[in-house]
Structure 1
Amino acid sequence: MQLDPSFKKVLEDYDKRVNDENQLMESLSKVDAMKRRDEFLLPVGEDAAIFMNTLIKSAKSKSILEIGTSYGYSTLWLAEAARTNGGKVITLENNLDKIMYAKDKISKAGLSKFVDFRHGDALLNIKNATETFDFVLLDLWKELYVPCFNLFSPKLNDGAWVLGDNMIFPPISKKESEAYQNIIRAKETFTSILLPIGSGIEVSQYHS
């Protein structure tokens, strides 16, 4: 996969942070690690990121919605694909510090004009969005997957892809993950499959 030097440099910065944080988490108790989880990058991982990037490019998706920017690791890969397709990523995040961190990384990768950062409540931002979407990544607190799906599903273009992350790991979210899977698989307008990539991705395609 050909990646430009600016992108690769930012990716190396993310990888270093992940390695440092993994060492820190190993030194913490499970309780302390859970309390501090918002501090950690917790990325989808390179395998999942490459899969999403490739799918977007192959599908020629242009209007991309990311629900849960966090520190911008996935955003980086989505934006690189958006640049190839002449598209744009709308990414939603409620934590302003995370947005500022992600904006800095996206800028250093030369991808700022391909990303629209929207701060605030995800549900409200989805409700207020006037765009329609070719690709959606769901990657926020799992109890919000179903409410988010109910709001963005009427805004999907025919053939749109929807990816729900963390379907297998962590097991603490199994109930919420299954609720999301049950909802989307029950819709006749969606075909859906669970792929064991990264922490498990529910890959669904919408047909009107």
Structure 2
Amino acid sequence: MTTTPILLRPRRFQDTRGWFSETYSKATAAAAGIGLTFVQDNQSFSAATGTVRGLHFQRPPHAQAKLVRCTRGSIIDYAVDIRRGSPTYGRFVSARLTAEGGEQILLPVGFAHGFVTLEPDVEVAYKVTDFYAPECDGGLIWNDPDIGIYWPLPASGASLSEKDAALPRLAELDSPFEYDGAPLEPIPEL
């Protein structure tokens, strides 16, 4: 099973009507070494360019792996390693996800997740491996200088929720996630 983020590019079959794509198949995922069971689908809509959502995670016993895709518009998606003892703790990887390209990113447990919208009226859909549990909700402030993410924002700046604007810094995190021996690397494509 994967323990670092992976970029997936499901095939699209085109004809004169448009295209068809199998966006998730348990059998295809298993053949690629992804043995996750997804239990909930989520979707978000962001009206403004520069909407930042994250950096979010859910603590055990309801930790979540996520399979994220952009179904309308485009985003930059980020995964921050928050596995205690990891040599890449606090580092991040990112990928551009577009509705046009159909890319997906698989984010294992132990990573904080966030994204920024690159245009107006963006929709993002993601599958998760555990149900939402408010008592396990966690996050990091999006612009923590110790993480150092570059967020491509419009001149008006980031559009944030009050909750996301008040999240703590990485230095304040007592991470509940253990390092599993796989350091964060550039995102491989499957």
Same fold at TM > 0.5 = no
Task: Say which structure, 1 or 2, has more relative contact order (CA 8 Å, 6+ apart).
Answer: 2
Normalised TM-score (structure 2): 0.31
Quick check: which one's strand share is greater? 2
Structure holding more helix per residue: 1
